[in-house]
């Protein structure tokens, strides 16, 4: 059992992930929703289809958009977190932008078509790694939402979409089925996205930082990766120490091991899901 400077302890091995569980359709009104738990960190992700594209899109736009919002709920931390009633600020705004651009890295917006999706990530319980858990969970919920839009005939390949005149006349093309639906899903979202935190504590690398590990870390790093092994973003910070190129490589190597596990879990969870 490791003991750290905060006098808190952990019995989790340094290269072991926290347990993950997912409840699908946790809420009934969203296009797709999941309750995602990674250890004691719990995030509710809901995906909604907006009524229209953002105002800055051209009227004849052929591509879509994916946006994200993030919130720590008041009871998610050990002392009440005050609601940000006048919009996201500081840390929250930065995390929202990170989640949104990470998700868009896995989506072909032209194949999505003129559809705007909003992904809400609400932290029910925070025990470290909330932004990373939000990204991993949001990727699962986003794929489910896209799958449902394809099944309902709302999301179609460019060549199958009705023209403006056809839509005005009430023409609705048939939804894709079977292999065609699967092929289009993989065109819209070619890659899943997963994120994971790693840290350096007294010269030792640790995987999937919870609050105890994060509060003791000399260096922490958030790593976001596509399922084909390409990085979306790497956020490495020396909290109370500097770190070497060798340390950086060791942290990335450990993160890659965990991210491969997360991508495998995403595939497992979505197998046969509709």
Contact in structure between 194 and 224 (CB atoms under 8 Å): yes
Instruction: State whether residue 191 is helix, strand or coil.
Output: coil
* pLDDT tens column, 47-94: 999 999 999 999 889 999 999 999 988 878 777 877 776 666 678 889
- Whether pLDDT at 3 is above 60: no
- Whether pLDDT at 28 is above 70: yes
Residue 7 is predicted with a pLDDT of 60
* pLDDT tens column, 141-171: 999 999 999 999 999 999 999 887 887 888 8
Could you give all domains of the chain from N- to C-terminal order, each with its CATH number? 2-270 (3.30.230.70)
Instruction: State whether residue 43 is helix, strand or coil.
Output: strand
Residue 89 is predicted with a pLDDT of 64
Residue 76 is predicted with a pLDDT of 86
103-115: average pLDDT:
97
Compute the distance between CA of residue 255 and CA of residue 142 in angstroms, rounded to an integer: 23
> Is the C-alpha dihedral spanning 141, 146, 151, 154 positive or negative?
positive
- Whether pLDDT at 140 is above 60: yes
Residue 1 is predicted with a pLDDT of 47
């Amino acid at each position: 059992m490791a003991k750290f400077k905060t006098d808190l302890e952990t019995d989790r091995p340094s290269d072991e992930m926290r347990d993950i569980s997912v409840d699908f359709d946790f809420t009934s009104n969203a296009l797709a929703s999941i309750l995602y738990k990674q250890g004691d960190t719990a995030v509710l992700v809901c995906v909604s289809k907006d009524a229209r594209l953002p105002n800055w899109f051209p009227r004849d736009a052929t591509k879509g958009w994916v946006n994200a919002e993030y919130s720590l709920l008041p009871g998610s931390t050990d002392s009440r977190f005050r609601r940000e009633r006048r919009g996201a600020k500081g840390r929250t705004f930065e995390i929202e932008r990170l989640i949104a651009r990470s998700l868009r890295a896995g989506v072909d917006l032209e194949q999505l078509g003129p559809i705007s999706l909003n992904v809400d990530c609400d932290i029910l319980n925070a025990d470290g790694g909330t932004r990373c858990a939000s990204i991993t969970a949001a990727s699962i919920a986003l794929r489910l939402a896209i799958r449902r839009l394809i099944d309902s005939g709302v999301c179609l390949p460019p060549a199958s979409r009705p023209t403006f005149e056809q839509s005005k006349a009430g023409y609705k093309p048939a939804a894709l089925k079977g292999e065609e639906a699967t092929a289009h899903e993989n065109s819209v979202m070619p890659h899943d996205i997963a994120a994971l935190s790693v840290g350096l504590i007294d010269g030792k690398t640790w995987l999937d930082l919870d609050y105890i590990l994060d509060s003791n870390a000399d260096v922490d790093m958030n790593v976001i990766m596509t399922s084909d092994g390409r990085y979306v973003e790497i956020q490495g910070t020396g909290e109370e120490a500097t770190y070497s190129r060798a340390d950086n490589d060791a942290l990335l190597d450990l993160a890659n091991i965990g991210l491969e596990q997360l991508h495998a879990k995403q595939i497992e969870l979505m197998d046969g899901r509709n």
